[in-house]
Amino acid sequence: MIISGNNPAHVQQAVDALCAGELLGLPTETVYGLAADASNESAVAKIFKAKGRPSSHPLIVHVASSDCVPKFANDVPDFALKLMAKFWPGPLTLILPRRAERAAAAAGGQNSVGLRCPSHPMALEVLEACAAKGVWGVAAPSANQFGRVSPTTAAHVQSEFGPALLILDGGECEVGIESTIVDCTRGVPVLLRPGQISRAQIEQACDLKLVNPEALNSEAPRASGTLESHYAPTAKLRLMRTEEWQKALAALGPHAQNLALWSVQKPSHDLRGAGLFWRAMPSDATQAAHDLFSVLRDFDTRGVHTIWIETPPDTPEWEGVRDRLKRAAA
Ligand code: TXA
Ligand code: MG
């Protein structure tokens, strides 16, 4: 059931559900989350079950502010404090050393915990109300079936989990791709997942160089969003340079069938028969990130068999979008 985040009674209903160990579709500024009380083992088990996600894959725990961090983490390094001060509330997740016995199931049994304070006002409202009732953290992976496209509207969430799930409608997610994840448990900041907050911004905020996980020889923690194949639509997705799709489309001519194209360049119109769906890719990376998952879902809804996407520029502001597209195409 979708309830309105603008209605205080509905927000209260969402808070009550979480505090009672129920699941909730929670809006955040990045994507919608499938939320549950992070300290309630059976509630957390419901998340893994509903998503079909292996229970060893850790979930992000959402908190109302950095004041809640000591409830879940200890030995927080200085550079992590700087990142919190700079980017929270906002689309940044920090992996920190986990306090023994805290949120063990949500953390997938790892000795670290991923914490994030989201900036969506309705998410903050829910988290603050939960904290006031002693629910200090809310575990929430993206509200999609394991490996599938993340949801950026309440309707997307409902299409993943059906009408029985309580979903707080907070409108369209502003950012559109998941938070940047920085591992702060290795002495140096390690970028586990690129997002809207860029490498340069992180390095500047903590005055340290960001390390890539491949550069460390220790075993990286299991992270769904870092699997080679993830965020996949049903249709087959191919990344193509402009000249590539233009040539391929010219070769198909009027025979294009069940084909979708997301590109900055518009295809020459005599080729756009009933068999080709085209959507304009914004030339601005922030806007493209905002549109990405809803475009993939839209193409899937139209039942296309193949999706061609113009390869984004190889520049820092496109890193998050490029990362999601690479995994969606794998
Ligand atoms: O923007 C976001 O981060 C969204 C919204 C809902 O907040 N959440 C999200 O959650 O993307 P999820 O579970 O789909 O992705 C979280 C990523 C996964 O790749 C997970 O493995 C990783 O964070 N992660 C969480 N805790 C971790 C930990 N302790 N160590 C390593 N990776 C961790
Ligand atoms: Mg996810």
CATH of the domain at 140: 3.90.870.10
Whether 51 is covered by a domain: the verdict is yes
Q: Give the C-alpha separation, 261 to 307, whole Å.
A: 6
- Tell the residue number behind the tokens 């996949």, with chain if given: 232
9 and 158 inside one domain: yes
Strands 2-4 and 167-169: parallel
DSSP 150-201: PP-SHHHHHHHH-TTS-EEE--S-SS-SPPEEEE-SSSS-EEEE--SS-HHH
Torsion from C-alpha of 110, 232, 151, 167, nearest 10 degrees: -70
CATH code of the domain containing 257? 3.40.50.11030
Instruction: Output the tens digit of pLDDT for each of the chain's 330 residues.
Output: 999 999 999 999 999 999 999 999 999 999 999 999 999 999 999 999 999 999 999 999 999 999 999 999 999 999 999 999 999 999 999 999 999 999 999 999 999 999 999 999 999 999 999 999 999 999 999 999 998 999 999 999 999 999 999 999 999 999 999 999 999 999 999 999 999 999 999 999 999 999 999 888 666 554 556 666 667 788 999 999 999 999 999 898 888 889 999 999 988 866 656 689 999 999 999 999 999 999 999 999 999 999 999 999 999 999 999 999 999 998
Whole-prediction pTM value?
Answer: 0.94
156 and 291 inside one domain: no
Helix, strand, or coil (residue 87): helix
Whether residue 93 has its Cβ less than 6 Å from ligand 1: yes
Ligand at shortest distance from the CA of 195: 1
User: Which one of 29, 60, 185 would you pick to mutate in the ligand 1 pocket, going by the greatest count of ligand atoms within 8 A of its CB?
Assistant: 60
Contacts of 206 (CB under 8 A, 6+ apart): 79, 80, 82, 83, 189
Whether residue 180 has its Cβ less than 6 Å from ligand 1: no
Domain stop point among 160, 179, 198:
179
pLDDT at 147: 86
Which atom of ligand 1 has the smallest separation from the CA of 175? 1
264 and 166 inside one domain: no
CB 224, CB 57: distance < 8 Å: yes
First to last CA, the chain: 34
Using alpha carbons, select from 80, 21, 291 the residue that is nearest to residue 312: 291
Q: Residues within 5 Å of ion ligand 2 by Cβ?
A: 142
pLDDT at 330: 87
Distance 138 CA to ligand 1 centre (A): 12
Domain stop point among 147, 164, 179:
179
CB 195, CB 42: distance < 8 Å: no
Q: Give the C-alpha separation, 294 to 95, whole Å.
A: 28
pLDDT at 223: 57
Distance 129 CA to ligand 2 centre (A): 25
SS3 of 222-277: the string is CCHHHCCCCCECCCEEEEECHHHHHHHHHHHHHHCCCEEEEECCCCCHHHCCCCEE
Distance 150 CA to ligand 2 centre (A): 6
Which atom of ligand 1 has the smallest separation from the CA of 60? 25
Whether residue 195 has its Cβ less than 6 Å from ligand 1: no
Query: Which residues constitute the domain of residue 313?
Result: 236-329
26 and 165 inside one domain: yes
**Domains: count for the chain:** 2
User: Which one of 178, 190, 196, 231 would you pick to mutate in the ligand 1 pocket, going by the greatest count of ligand atoms within 8 A of its CB?
Assistant: 178
CB 206, CB 82: distance < 8 Å: yes
